[in-house]
Structure 1
Amino acid sequence: MIKIYHNPRCRKSREGLEVLEQSGQDFEIVKYLEDIPTEEELKTLIGYLGITPEELVRKNEAIWKEQYKGKSLSDDEIITAMVENPKLIERPIIVKDKKAVIGRPSEKINILL
């Protein structure tokens, strides 16, 4: 089953959702600002993406700039920051069969389809 971590207010996330809808495949929508991933879920997603926790952070968010930018943070501390402030999580994230992509640009989603 395909899963999209989605923020309906984000244009890029809506574009990602549209790609999935047009694919005709079944998928599940996770509104991650409401259904916040746990630290373990984020660690799993980061593993599927093959990136570091910091690469999943939206560094232009005010929360990041005000509270975390310039600090020396461990991977666990970065993951905790994303759980406490889910707006920091890059979006959309599309997951299929233990593989994932960040759908920016939305064409990247086709890698999984």
Structure 2
Amino acid sequence: MIQILHNPRCRKSREGLQLLEATNNEFEVIKYLDHPLTVLELKSIISKLEISPLDLVRKNEAIWKSDYKGKNLSDEDIITAMAKHPKLIERPIVINKDKAIVGRPAEAINTIL
């Protein structure tokens, strides 16, 4: 089943959800701020996205700037930071089987449906 990692307070995330709602596909909404992802879940998603962990980080978040920016961080450190601070994760992320995409712009989601 298709999954969307969603933050209802984010306009881009809401746009991604609207796009999915307009399709005939069944999907599951995961509010990842309410139910944070584990390190293993994040590793799996990053693998499906085919990006580096740093590419999934929202670098303008205050917590990133204050605690992580400019430090020599390993991929493991970055993934651990996202697990600890889910606000750092780019959104929305749509997962369909073994593929995933960050839905920015929302139309990008169509490439994995």
The size of the alignment, in residue pairs, is 113
The separation in 2 between residues aligned to 1:77 and 1:68, in whole angstroms, is 9
> Equivalent residue of 2:12, what SS?
helix
Q: Which residue of 2 aligns with 1:28?
A: 28
Q: Which residue of 1 aligns with 2:70?
A: 70
Give the TM-score, by structure 1 length.
0.99
Q: CA shift at 1:24, angstroms?
A: 1.7
Report Cα offsets for 1:77-108 as digits up to 9, x if no partner: 00000011000000000000110000000010
Identity %: 61
Q: CA shift at 1:48, angstroms?
A: 0.1
The separation in 2 between residues aligned to 1:10 and 1:24, in whole angstroms, is 23
Q: Please tell me whether residue 59 in structure 1 is matched to residue 88 in structure 2.
A: no
Report Cα offsets for 1:53-92 as digits up to 9, x if no partner: 0000000000000000000100000000001100000000
Q: For structure 2, list consecutive stretches of 5 or more residues without a partner in the other structure.
A: none
Runs (4 or more) in structure 1 with deviation over 2 Å come to: none
- 1:89-108 aligned within 5 A: 89-108=89-108
Look up the equivalent residue of 1:51 and give its one-letter code.
Answer: I
Q: Please tell me whether residue 11 in structure 1 is matched to residue 11 in structure 2.
A: yes
The separation in 2 between residues aligned to 1:77 and 1:64, in whole angstroms, is 12
Give the TM-score, by structure 2 length.
0.99
Look up the equivalent residue of 1:110 and give its one-letter code.
Answer: N
**CA RMSD between the two structures:** 0.4
The separation in 1 between residues aligned to 2:110 and 2:65, in whole angstroms, is 32
